Amino acid sequence: MSNIISSNRPGGGIKWQWPSIHPEGRKFLLIAAIITLCFWLLGWEIVGWLMLGVTLWVGSFFRDPVRITPTGSDVVIAPADGLVTQIAEVVPPPEIAGADGLGDAPMLRVSIFMSVFDVHINRTPIAGTLRKLVYIPGKFLNADLDKASEENERQHFVVERADGVRIGFTQIAGLVARRIMPFVTMGNELSTGQRVGLIRFGSRVDVFLPAGTTPQVLLGQRTLAGETVVARIGQSAMIDGIGQ
């Protein structure tokens, strides 16, 4: 039986559909809707209209669209929707460094910033075993700042492929984010693009690429979690782009 769920081969098509609301967000959507209704029943129409906008935003924030994940043994998929704000060579965070993590040599880090209007469901970049899951309490600085990687509330993941290649990625809370929620636990077997967590509300995800791998995204490019190819393992060719 084929595992292909979508392809670019001729024949067939697909229709747009409303994205579902993740179960974690339904209670917030219900609360916002009840408050909105109360204002309307009290006759406070101006506030009611404002709360209606808030309710729609809450529903949008927790949307969980279906994503079509590219297959291939070498692909590294974006773990987050958002804007590529930094590509830098850094030493892995101490919590996921060392022989049982990503090692101690500098790695390329791709940072993806999520605004409050982006989808906030995060996904694993590769398939494999979740070897590390480390939560670190911290501050709530602007997630776009470089020091947020070391000072903000964050959660580290290390996923190991069957061939031993490991990739790390980190959820980083932002100014208005107040909770990082994992959907997985250590030892879980993950498939590429699988949902692994959620950050409320506005944040950043860093991806640490293995040696010999160069990003296939550019600064200022937007990514889609579970769909955009961030890199190909073993591919070191640089790419250029132009804003237009």
Average pLDDT over residues 104-119: 91
Which of 2, 60, 203, 236 is labelled catalytic?
203
Q: pTM of the predicted model, to two decimals?
A: 0.84
Q: pLDDT band at residue 25, thresholds of 50, 70 and 90? A: confident
Residue 168: CB atoms within 10 A of its CB come to: 26
Provide the percentage of residues in the chain whose pLDDT is more than 70.
86
Q: Report which of residues 74 and 16 the model is more confident about.
A: 74
Q: Report which of residues 235 and 8 the model is more confident about.
A: 235
- Check residue 6 and give its pLDDT: 63
Q: Which of 152, 134, 156, 135 is nearest to 143 (CA)?
A: 152
pLDDT in tens, 220-235: 999 999 999 999 998 7
Instruction: Give yes or no: 203 in active site.
Output: yes
pLDDT in tens, 154-205: 899 999 999 999 999 999 886 655 578 889 999 999 999 999 998 876 688 9
- Check residue 11 and give its pLDDT: 65
Q: What is the distance of C-alpha 211 from the center of its chain?
A: 22
Q: Do residues 161 and 183 touch, judged by C-beta distance below 8 A?
A: no
**How far is 59 from 21, CA to CA, in rounded Å?**
7
Q: pLDDT band at residue 112, thresholds of 50, 70 and 90? A: very high
Average pLDDT over residues 37-60: 85
**How far is 228 from 224, CA to CA, in rounded Å?**
5
Q: Do residues 14 and 6 touch, judged by C-beta distance below 8 A?
A: yes
Q: Do residues 80 and 108 touch, judged by C-beta distance below 8 A?
A: no
Q: Is the pLDDT of residue 142 over 60?
A: no
Q: pLDDT band at residue 28, thresholds of 50, 70 and 90? A: confident
Q: What is the distance of C-alpha 134 from the center of its chain?
A: 16
Task: At 175, list the tokens.
Answer: 């100014």
Peptide bond into 140 cis (omega under 30): no
Q: Is the pLDDT of residue 47 over 80?
A: yes
Q: Which of 176, 234, 228, 173 is nearest to 205 (CA)?
A: 173
Q: Is 129 exposed, middle or buried (0-12, 13-18, 19+ CB in 10 A)?
A: middle
Looking at every residue in the chain, the average pLDDT score rounds to 85
- Check residue 54 and give its pLDDT: 85
Q: Is the pLDDT of residue 92 over 90?
A: yes
**How far is 215 from 221, CA to CA, in rounded Å?**
12
- Check residue 1 and give its pLDDT: 39
Q: pLDDT band at residue 45, thresholds of 50, 70 and 90? A: confident
Q: Is the pLDDT of residue 129 over 90?
A: yes
Q: Report which of residues 216 and 243 the model is more confident about.
A: 216
Question: SS3 letters for the chain?
Answer: CCCCCCCCCCCCCCCCCCCEECHHHHHHHHHHHHHHHHHHHCCCHHHHHHHHHHHHHHHHHCEECCCCCCCCCCEEECCCCEEEEEEEEECCCHHHCECCCCECCCEEEEEEEECCCCCCEEECCCCEEEEEEEEECCECCCCCCCCHHHHECEEEEEEECCCCCEEEEEEEECCCCCEEEECCCCCCEECCCCEEEEEECCEEEEEEECCCCCECCCCCCEECCCCCEEEECCCCCCCCCCCC
